[in-house]
Amino acid sequence: MNVKNEVLYRVYFIFFLAVIPAALALIYKTAYINYVEGEYWRKKGKDTFVEKRSIEADRGDILAANGSLLATSIPFFDIYFDPNSTGMSEEDFNKNIDSLAYLITLYVDNTYTPGAYKDFLIQKRKDNARYVLIKKRATLSEKRFIEKFPLFRLGQMRGGFIAQQSSERVRPFGVLAQRTVGYIREGAKPVGLEAIYDQVLGGRPGVQEMFCVDKAKDIWLPLNSLTAVEPRRGDDLKTTLDINIQDVAQEALLRAVNYHNADWGTAIVMEVKTGAVKAMANLGRTEKGWWETFNHAVGTAIEPGSTFKLATIMAMLEDGYFDLNDTVSIENGRTRFYEEIMEDSSPYSARLDSITVKRAFEISSNVGLAKLAVQAYGQNNRKNKNQGAAQFISRLKEFNLHLSTGIEITGEAEPYIKEAYSAQHEWSGTTLPWMAIGYELRLTPLQILTFFNAVANGGELVKPYLVSEIQRDGKPLQTFKPVVVKRQIASKATISKAKELLEAVVERGTAEKLRHPDSLYRFAGKTGTAQIGYRKVNNKTLIKGYQASFVGYFPADNPMYSCIVVINNPRANGFYGSDVAGPVFREIADYCYVMAYQIHTAFNAQPPAPLPARQLPNNQNGYAPDMTYLLRELRLPYYGQANTDWGVLRVRSDSLVWENRQMAANVVPNVVGMGLRDALFLMENRGLKASVVGYGKVVRQSIKPGTRARGQTVQLYLD
């Protein structure tokens, strides 16, 4: 046998001696674990295991335009104690348990005595408990205080301290802009900005290895692991909302819906140039009182009523059918279209027959506007080249009234504008006249306001928006600029006439009572009073209620804000738009005007006007150095130069002139016009005595000036 084979045989022998027994041992152990101990380990695997679990990130804040918190997340902590933590030694436990029990009973749970709480914790350790509740919903400051207690300060592994964080969404301003800000709640549909910007606000969840100590109770303990990923807090939203305007709008709306016993109301304030929404208030009736139950401003499409007449008259002006000074017969406020009777609600109409187009708009004549629309777009008009009402609908689409605004809130209702002569849309012979006065179509309050805002903005249609920035740590990540949807919805001439009409409504029309004669600013707008829930029964119209509205802008000559107020189904103290919605608009407008410093001229913007003669110090006598000092300090210019110790100021027109005076040493001086100090100085320097009557400046003296001084007593009368 050669050497090579001998080596191989020895290797094989050693291999069999070493590997075969080990393999047999492994097979035996596997079978033993599987069949003999299998039930034990399977139960152990079900009860105790480790898995990676998601950690919720802190949600970002929602801010008002000035940085005030509209919504924020406040952290809370459920604090537990693990008396059988794997890193806790018997020595650490026994050394700290007395102090720990004492502090817990002193600051956290006073239902126990320190001795009883110590016994309670010792028993939990003996029972192999892993999850002993110390405090529910502790604040951050409380958590930081408790984690410094003896034993707890050693951390999770050695001290058994466990703090499970959760967050609660709070609104520092309560229900203010509640539906606009929105919410995300379990079991409820997300709404508002919280829903639209959920991914931005939600941040990025973290990952943490967790150890299950009680699967039945779903109790998990975090493990220290290098694989842990910290959650990243959500970014913040900065909105366009002005918290003060929002507060004023909501309070004014609340008083109105309560006073008029309405079903719901909404008010929106928008910046004319940009479309930035400064306030959006919604109030609805509930069993517990008034609440923001629904965002009617965005989600409720309504028949606008008379506020829509602006679109009707602008369409006719744009197509050149009428001018403002043309006349229309309103038939004393009552006419017939086919089988339907249309009436005016204005008390003016009953005494009028033919009036101008402008006056028809001012008094909101239903008959006047409807007859004009039929004359312009009815099928009998040869000028419209047989387009008829289709031309009218086309104009409404030019005004973008058939499109939603696209504001960043879920649930915006789509506008409803009928297609001309469409059987699907139930077009009839009465559709055109009734559509002309705001019926048989639907728009949301925000969509109506957007149209009026375009008129205030010179014809430029801007998109309403609520979010101006996305921020992280106070620094902007993304900025949202105003969006121009359409450069010009109508010609400059039509827009100018529309503004003239809206100003006339307030000056001498249906909103005349809202105008204050002594007001520092003017506003423009349109009232609306629409019937709701109306139906025909036996040739009679049954009405369930009314909807009052007012929409406009201010100041009229240089619009800064536009605003709409809609109050649904007022049952008490009036139902007309000018009586119900108009005062709310006026209150909001007054506040905005007062607070908008950009509108007002600064006091020091122009040089001060010269003071009138009656306000200048005429015949003011006195000591020259004192007088000139005061003139300089008061910045009162004067002519002349003080060359003597004494002088007098005289008024010439609107100017002051300085005249020097010589005071003789041995005669009674003339002290009329002087203050008492200067008068006494002159008298006593000449050996005279003075007797004083009254207060102020000298207006009369008993001895004539120029009389030789011989120590007389001079009576000085002051006033």
Q: Considering the domain boundaries, does residue 604 fall inside one?
A: no
pLDDT at 381 over 60: no
DSSP state of 517: T
Q: Of 191-200, 457-466, 540-549, where does mean pLDDT reach its minimum? A: 540-549
pLDDT band at 322 (very low <50, low <70, confident <90, very high): very high
If one compares 663 and 491, the residue with the highest pLDDT of the two is 491
Q: Within this chain, do residues 259 and 233 fall inside the same structural domain, yes or no?
A: no
Q: Within this chain, do residues 574 and 707 fall inside the same structural domain, yes or no?
A: no
pLDDT at 281 over 90: yes
105: tokens are 């009973």
Please enumerate in sequence order all residues whose Cβ is within 8 A of that of 581, keeping only pairs 6 or more positions apart, or say none: 256, 527, 528, 548, 549, 550, 565, 566, 567
Q: Within this chain, do residues 574 and 639 fall inside the same structural domain, yes or no?
A: no
pLDDT at 29 over 80: no
Q: What is the CATH number of the domain that holds 527?
A: 3.40.710.10
* Gap between the Cα atoms of 20 and 35, Å rounded: 22
Q: How many domains does the chain have?
A: 4
- Where does a domain end: 595, 627, 651? 595
Q: Of 86-90, 242-246, 272-276, 567-571, where does mean pLDDT reach its minimum? A: 86-90
* Gap between the Cα atoms of 354 and 368, Å rounded: 9
**Which amino acid, 171?**
R
Predicted local distance difference test score (pLDDT) of residue 338 = 87
94: tokens are 């026994």
In the chain, the N- to C-terminal Cα span, in Å, equals: 150
* Gap between the Cα atoms of 168 and 2, Å rounded: 85
pLDDT band at 41 (very low <50, low <70, confident <90, very high): low
- The widest CA-to-CA distance across the chain, in whole angstroms, is 167
Please give the average per-residue pLDDT across 540-545, as a whole number.
Answer: 72
Q: Within this chain, do residues 159 and 302 fall inside the same structural domain, yes or no?
A: no
Q: Within this chain, do residues 137 and 233 fall inside the same structural domain, yes or no?
A: yes
Q: What is the CATH number of the domain that holds 636?
A: 3.30.10.20
Q: Considering the domain boundaries, does residue 600 fall inside one?
A: no
Buried b (16+ CB within 10 A) or exposed e, 600-626: eeeeeeeeeeeeeeeebbeebbbbbee
> For the chain, percent helix, then strand, then coil, each to nearest 5?
35, 25, 40
Please give the average per-residue pLDDT across 76-97, as a whole number.
Answer: 88
Please give the average per-residue pLDDT across 397-401, as a whole number.
Answer: 96
**Which amino acid, 649?**
L
Q: Which of 290, 297, 292 is nearest to 269 (CA)?
A: 297
Predicted local distance difference test score (pLDDT) of residue 538 = 55
Please give the average per-residue pLDDT across 541-565, as a whole number.
Answer: 91
pLDDT at 319 over 90: yes
Q: Which of 196, 197, 177 is nearest to 279 (CA)?
A: 177
655: tokens are 């100017």
Range of the domain at 325: 247-595
pLDDT at 391 over 90: yes
For residue 354, the SS3 value is strand
Q: Considering the domain boundaries, does residue 603 fall inside one?
A: no
Q: Within this chain, do residues 458 and 480 fall inside the same structural domain, yes or no?
A: yes
* Gap between the Cα atoms of 124 and 117, Å rounded: 11
Please enumerate in sequence order all residues whose Cβ is within 8 A of that of 589, keeping only pairs 6 or more positions apart, or say none: 523, 554, 561, 563
* 651 HSE (CA, 13 A, CB side): 14
Q: In this predicted model, what pLDDT tens digit does every residue of 569-620 receive, in sequence order?
A: 999 999 999 999 999 999 999 999 988 777 766 666 666 666 666 666 777 7
CA distances from 468 to 200, 226, 471, 478 (A): 14, 39, 10, 8
Q: Considering the domain boundaries, does residue 608 fall inside one?
A: no
Q: In this predicted model, what pLDDT tens digit does every residue of 661-694 receive, in sequence order?
A: 888 888 888 888 888 888 888 888 888 888 888 8
For residue 657, the SS3 value is strand
Q: Within this chain, do residues 218 and 334 fall inside the same structural domain, yes or no?
A: no
Q: Which of 476, 484, 420 is nearest to 454 (CA)?
A: 484
pLDDT at 478 over 90: yes
pLDDT at 549 over 90: yes
DSSP state of 154: G
CA distances from 273 to 270, 399, 455, 468 (A): 9, 17, 11, 15
DSSP state of 350: G
pLDDT band at 23 (very low <50, low <70, confident <90, very high): confident
The DSSP bridge pattern shows strands 561-568 and 620-623 to be unpaired
Q: What is the CATH number of the domain that holds 220?
A: 3.90.1310.10
Predicted local distance difference test score (pLDDT) of residue 605 = 66
pLDDT at 704 over 80: yes
Predicted local distance difference test score (pLDDT) of residue 583 = 96
Q: Within this chain, do residues 572 and 629 fall inside the same structural domain, yes or no?
A: no
* Gap between the Cα atoms of 477 and 83, Å rounded: 46
Bridge partner residues of 343 (DSSP)? 334
Q: Within this chain, do residues 278 and 397 fall inside the same structural domain, yes or no?
A: yes
Give just the sign of the alpha carbon dihedral 156, 157, 160, 164.
Answer: positive
497: tokens are 């006439």
Q: In this predicted model, what pLDDT tens digit does every residue of 122-131 receive, in sequence order?
A: 998 888 887 8
644: tokens are 């003597």
pLDDT band at 630 (very low <50, low <70, confident <90, very high): confident
If one compares 159 and 621, the residue with the highest pLDDT of the two is 159
Q: Considering the domain boundaries, does residue 626 fall inside one?
A: yes
pLDDT at 156 over 90: no
pLDDT band at 451 (very low <50, low <70, confident <90, very high): very high
144: tokens are 């930081």
Predicted local distance difference test score (pLDDT) of residue 253 = 96
CB burial of residue 315 (10 Å; 0-12, 13-18, 19+): buried
Please enumerate in sequence order all residues whose Cβ is within 8 A of that of 572, keeping only pairs 6 or more positions apart, or say none: 259, 260, 261
pLDDT at 174 over 90: no
Q: Within this chain, do residues 572 and 462 fall inside the same structural domain, yes or no?
A: yes
Q: Considering the domain boundaries, does residue 605 fall inside one?
A: no
Please give the average per-residue pLDDT across 289-304, as a whole number.
Answer: 91
For residue 94, the SS3 value is helix
Omega of the bond leading into 555 within 30 degrees of 0 (cis): yes
Q: Within this chain, do residues 491 and 575 fall inside the same structural domain, yes or no?
A: yes
CA distances from 217 to 121, 214, 313, 327, 635 (A): 20, 6, 70, 82, 83
Question: Taking all residues of the chain, what is their mean pLDDT, rounded to a whole number?
Answer: 86
Q: Within this chain, do residues 692 and 573 fall inside the same structural domain, yes or no?
A: no
* 154 HSE (CA, 13 A, CB side): 21
pLDDT at 1 over 60: no
Q: In this predicted model, what pLDDT tens digit does every residue of 423-448 receive, in sequence order?
A: 899 999 899 999 999 999 999 999 99
Q: Considering the domain boundaries, does residue 503 fall inside one?
A: yes
Predicted local distance difference test score (pLDDT) of residue 265 = 96
If one compares 230 and 362, the residue with the highest pLDDT of the two is 362
* Gap between the Cα atoms of 580 and 563, Å rounded: 15
- Where does a domain end: 13, 32, 47? 47
Predicted local distance difference test score (pLDDT) of residue 523 = 94
Q: Considering the domain boundaries, does residue 11 fall inside one?
A: yes
In the chain, the percentage of residues whose pLDDT exceeds 90 is 43
> Are 268 and 278 within 8 A, CB to CB?
no
pLDDT at 622 over 90: no
Please give the average per-residue pLDDT across 89-116, as a whole number.
Answer: 90
CA distances from 492 to 311, 402, 482, 495 (A): 15, 22, 22, 5
If one compares 175 and 88, the residue with the highest pLDDT of the two is 88
- Where does a domain end: 595, 628, 650? 595
> Are 304 and 443 within 8 A, CB to CB?
yes
Please give the average per-residue pLDDT across 359-383, as a whole number.
Answer: 86
pLDDT at 481 over 90: yes
